């Protein structure tokens, strides 16, 4: 400890000791709930036990059980694992300024298809937010079957309940770190954004945050009938009943292996066996997308939402799927996803040199992400909360990934210099674009205004690259309108 400048903060459970790093006080691995093992496994989260004295918060806490991304994504999306049982922990970055208080707070919920990821991913380093006056909190939650398996003898959406417990921890403790519990923004990407869509739609989250950021993820949830298939397939592979009690008796490594075998193959755009949020009649009493579009949920909450121009390229390009999609496979996919013929014609006409794989990727990106987010923005246009849309378009030169899924993360967090960020961006990503995008997120968390007009009939979208940031009105509107006609 002699070479560490320490920082201390009080929580409800006890005092934690962090470290000052380049003018930022960092606290890692603070438990916000008890370890979900033993009798607590497959149950709703419970408060952590208090401790005596000062608890070290110097290293990232344990990550939820998971396996690395399958090749070739494992090289593009580094996903560190930390051993231990106290998976339900969080990290805090805050200015190391004496007397700092009342600062805006941004709570980050990571993505990873509800199977991967953690708050220990270096791309999510919160130093730049703290440097710019925003307290950054990043959260671990239960993944895979531990957090989202559907059982008759356990609550559904346990990973979402974890996220709620973390937000309640922020409400009760963040003032001790200089943050204002009444100025909380919750932000997430991919599965993190899908989770936030559900948080916006549940009464349990009322009052826990006033703003939300959805990056490359749209509100969605399945019925129990549609959601239980993945859990049942894992049970069949293990030869046990599809109950929490039976799964709790299985060796954890064997359970992870079966989960990986059942969920491998496919991707979020083309489909696979996966874990999803569930309309359980308790935490979620109806589909979050419907709840938000009807205006009954998240009234008064400001939203910042957007996508990357070529989301699909992260899944299609590295493994060569783009080249393997023929005209026949494209036609079959259009039938499977019930894409209207008129819509397909518009996308083809706008991409005269596009391959069948590129056309399918553009259609899938918009069907699953851009169309539902635009429809949500339209539904909120006259409501009490402001809505802002962005699109990230800077193309990565790495493996012809283009403006793919997850590429914007290093820009939002201003972590372009980290090697894990460079795995996606390469070494020459434009710092000036990161400066602009990061500052927009800082401004939104601080004031509710990221720096461009809120959504209205002119449909303003802030484009971040290629080139300098620019406001575009109703981009590719012919494509969006073709889905409505369909």
Confidence check: pLDDT of 486 > 60: no
Q: Which two tokens stand for residue 206?
A: 């009322």
| 408: annotated active-site residue | no
Architecture per CATH, domain 6-485, reads as 3-Layer(aba) Sandwich (3.40)
The arithmetic mean of pLDDT across residues 160-178, rounded, is 98
Q: Which two tokens stand for residue 412?
A: 């939002």
**pLDDT tier, 270 (very low <50, low <70, confident <90, very high otherwise):** low
Asked if residue 88 lies in contact with residue 30, where contact means CB atoms within 8 angstroms, the answer is no
The arithmetic mean of pLDDT across residues 190-201, rounded, is 98
In this prediction the pTM is 0.97
- What mean pLDDT value characterizes the chain? 95
pLDDT in tens, 87-104: 999 999 999 988 789 999
What residue ranges do the domains of the chain occupy? 6-485
| 311: annotated active-site residue | yes
Q: Point out the catalytic residue in the list 110, 405, 408, 438.
A: 405
pLDDT in tens, 329-380: 999 999 999 999 999 999 999 999 999 999 999 999 999 999 999 999 999 9
Q: Rounded to whole angstroms, how far apart are CA atoms 70 and 474? A: 37
| 418: annotated active-site residue | no
């Amino acid at each position: 400890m002699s070479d560490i400048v320490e920082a201390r903060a009080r929580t409800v459970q006890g005092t934690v000791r962090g470290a000052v790093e380049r003018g930022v006080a960092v606290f890692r691995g603070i438990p916000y709930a008890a370890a979900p093992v033993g009798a607590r496994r497959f149950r709703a989260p419970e408060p952590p036990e208090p401790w005596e004295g000062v608890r070290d918060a110097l290293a990232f806490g344990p990550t939820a059980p998971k396996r690395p991304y399958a090749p070739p994504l494992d090289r593009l999306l580094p996903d560190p694992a930390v051993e231990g049982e106290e998976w339900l922990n969080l990290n805090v970055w805050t200015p190391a300024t004496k007397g700092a208080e009342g600062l805006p707070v941004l709570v980050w919920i990571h993505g990873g298809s509800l199977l991967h990821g953690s708050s220990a991913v270096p791309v999510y380093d919160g130093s730049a937010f703290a440097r710019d006056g925003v307290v950054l909190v990043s959260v671990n939650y239960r993944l895979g079957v531990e957090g989202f398996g559907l059982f008759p003898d356990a609550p559904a959406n346990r990973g979402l309940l974890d996220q709620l417990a973390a937000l309640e921890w922020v409400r009760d403790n963040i003032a001790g770190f200089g943050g204002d519990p009444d100025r909380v923004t919750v932000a997430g990407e991919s599965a993190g954004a899908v989770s936030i869509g559900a948080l916006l739609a549940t009464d349990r989250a009322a009052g826990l945050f006033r703003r939300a950021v959805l990056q490359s993820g749209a509100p969605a949830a399945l019925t129990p009938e549609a959601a239980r298939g993945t859990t049942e397939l894992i049970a069949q592979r293990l030869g046990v009943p599809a109950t929490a009690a039976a799964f709790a008796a299985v060796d954890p490594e064997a359970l992870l292996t079966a989960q990986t075998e059942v969920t491998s193959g496919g991707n979020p755009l083309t489909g696979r066996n996966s874990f999803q949020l569930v309309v359980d009649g308790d935490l979620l009493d109806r589909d979050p997308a419907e709840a938000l579009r009807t205006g009954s949920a998240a009234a008064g909450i400001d939203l910042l939402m957007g996508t990357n121009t070529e989301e699909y390229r992260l899944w299609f390009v590295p493994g060569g799927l783009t080249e393997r999609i023929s005209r026949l496979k494209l036609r079959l996919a259009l039938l499977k996803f019930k894409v209207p013929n008129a819509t397909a014609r518009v996308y083809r006409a706008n991409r005269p040199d596009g391959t069948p794989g590129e056309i399918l990727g553009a259609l899938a990106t918009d069907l699953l992400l851009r169309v539902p987010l635009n429809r949500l923005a339209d539904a909120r246009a006259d409501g009490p909360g402001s809505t802002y849309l962005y699109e990230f378009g800077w193309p990565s030169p790495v493996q012809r990934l283009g403006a793919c899924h997850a590429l914007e993360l290093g820009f939002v967090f201003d972590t372009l210099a980290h090697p894990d960020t460079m795995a996606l961006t390469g070494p020459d990503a434009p710092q000036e674009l990161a400066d602009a995008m990061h500052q927009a997120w800082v401004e939104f968390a601080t004031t509710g205004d990221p720096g461009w007009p809120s959504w209205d009939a002119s449909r303003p979208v802030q484009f971040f690259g290629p080139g300098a940031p620019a406001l575009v009105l109703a981009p590719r509107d012919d494509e969006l309108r073709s889905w409505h006609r369909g």
